[in-house]
Amino acid sequence: MPDSHEVRADYDATSVVMYQAYNDAIADAALEAGRFAAPFSFQRMTWIKPSFLWLMARSRWATGAGQGRVLAVRITRAGWERALGLAVPTDPTAGGYASDAAWRAAFEGAKVHVQWDTERSLQGAGLGHYSIQVGLSRHVIREFVDEWITGVEDLTPRVRKMREQLNAHRLDQVARLLPKERVYPVPDALRRQLGMR
């Protein structure tokens, strides 16, 4: 039986892909600059997700308000693991904290938050394992943008094609277009901290 808290991602030896959905203005600026730029906000938390299908469920296949453009943001594995190392789970029972007060103190001072959500199928149904999303606070967003991002790709045309195939109940066609995600080797030193079990 697979671990219920595994990180699944599209990655190679040096980088890993995160998925985000935005409006046209933010997406166009990011694609032009090769990284996020105004009107992207550097003053609020931004959530990055390595699960394509979780984002599809969240954005309703790029039909949600302000979520019509899907970006694949490739970042360094060093940056990704730095984010995980700074993270405190949103669940007070995760991470092995001695008390709720200890968790709260850590959470309120954390630069990065981690949340585990039920992973989704092609049709949006909940699966038997969890998907990670990582919230980067304004204290690390500049580092994310200026140091971790190695490229930004617009997946919107592919998502629209997949949505059309999904609506036509051609699940095999949709599955062929999915990113190749596999279990990411989270360092053992971080697993307990992230609430992985």
The domain limits of the chain are 8-189
pLDDT at 1 exceeding the cut of 50: no
DSSP 56-105: HHHHTTTTSTT--EEEEEEEEHHHHHHHHHHEEESSTTSTT-SSHHHHHH
Average pLDDT, rounded, for the chain: 95
What pLDDT shows up at residue 173? Answer: 96
- How large is the average pLDDT for residues 147-157? 98
Confidence of residue 170 (pLDDT cuts 50, 70, 90): very high
What pLDDT shows up at residue 3? Answer: 66
- How large is the average pLDDT for residues 109-116? 97
Percent share of the chain, pLDDT over 70: 98
pLDDT at 2 exceeding the cut of 90: no
**DSSP conformational letter for 16:** E
Q: What are phi and psi of 178, to 5 degrees?
A: -70, 145
Residue from 164, 158, 157, 153 nearest 178 by CA? 158
What pLDDT shows up at residue 34? Answer: 98
pLDDT at 159 exceeding the cut of 80: yes
- How large is the average pLDDT for residues 82-105? 94
**CB–CB of 53/121 below 8 Å?**
yes
pLDDT at 119 exceeding the cut of 60: yes
Output the CA torsion sign for 26, 32, 38, 42.
positive
- Among 20-24, 136-140, 181-185, 188-192, which is the least confidently predicted range? 188-192
